[in-house]
Structure 1
């Protein structure tokens, strides 16, 4: 039996309903795995529980049922082994870009010297294209630059699992494209394990090894796991010419438009695992 780095088993999130014995189920029977170094994106309509799953993986929320196992151990509560990049940057406004990164690095390795912390942090700021901006505070940075600081901080602490909640959702298309390329570069160097939420089909195809598709809430399920068969390294201007690109894209769009509305617990009540989809030619 293959050992997976991350195992999510029968995860469920619900809240008390209006009646005494009722409950509002956001999602249920979420079952999926992620291997070490894998980049996995999850796509679904608003309200299906994507961010709630990410918050449970981060230890910022509790599941109503099910377990999360990382590297053979059940996780509970936040940990420096799990880093998070949010959509709203989450930077300390009184600290410079460099100080925002060193803050995380010092917490991760308190025994390191100040010089080593600085050197390590600067390297990751340089990887996201912020060399020369290390002494600016967040108020002196554009939205895209702030998000680069967040990404640099998350990668610099070298967590075992990096969680990203629509990290480019607030950025314009041009800025988003540039940072996506830098994210690919930094991920290829670090080989981090990444779980990322996105609403952008093209972004998921560019970044992910696999894409998890969620049905609509309430009682959402993870219905499919779609393999992205386009080889790496990938570039936005090149992947659209790959023979599998539009097969994958059309499959994702068709799911979001039509099949996400289906109740898969009725269609396939005995198997809560996502259907494996490989559209490779």
Structure 2
């Protein structure tokens, strides 16, 4: 019964997206050929996007671009996690830093990632380091706030009970605070990845390094909206895949270890 339900849901999902593609193609035909509202090159179509997909796949450029972007995104994200969690721990540990740094960090994290591009180009030129700088700056502050917030939301009773049993500060963090804060930390890490992935595209668009952002920029320069739409779709699909495969696996592992967390 459960298997049949999943099959029906899968078929419904496929039918929904197939209907969207059909509607998109119909709007393209009506807008460019029947009513001549737009120029054919100004509006992407499913058929045009598919043709560009095969062209970029055949010469390997799409795969190279996606691989380069993933490598940069992963490296920048790891650096942002290390820096952001360190900042969050310091703010949680020292009241002076939290009172003075948290409002500043909250303000800075609202800046769009594109704001860091001029600094990155000026300091690092059109290089890989410039892109990594944008990725880190685009996600590190959100990760710092998320880390501080997750730790502060651990019930005070847990800490008092552990300290009353003679647990030292190092054990308190590793044995009590981090495990209790893990579900909220994972949510913050997911959000940090989304920030890093968006920041990566902002950095790549402004440089000449191989990547999805540079491929999108090339399509824009050539007025090839099908290529632009294809790259946008690939960016979205990679983001969904990372969320479902990587973070989904981590969340399922946490829920197996903490079944009560799943029920809430």
What TM-score does the superposition give when structure 2 sets the normalisation length?
A: 0.25
Higher strand share: 1
Kindly name which structure, 1 or 2, has the bigger radius of gyration based on alpha carbons: 2
Higher helix share: 2
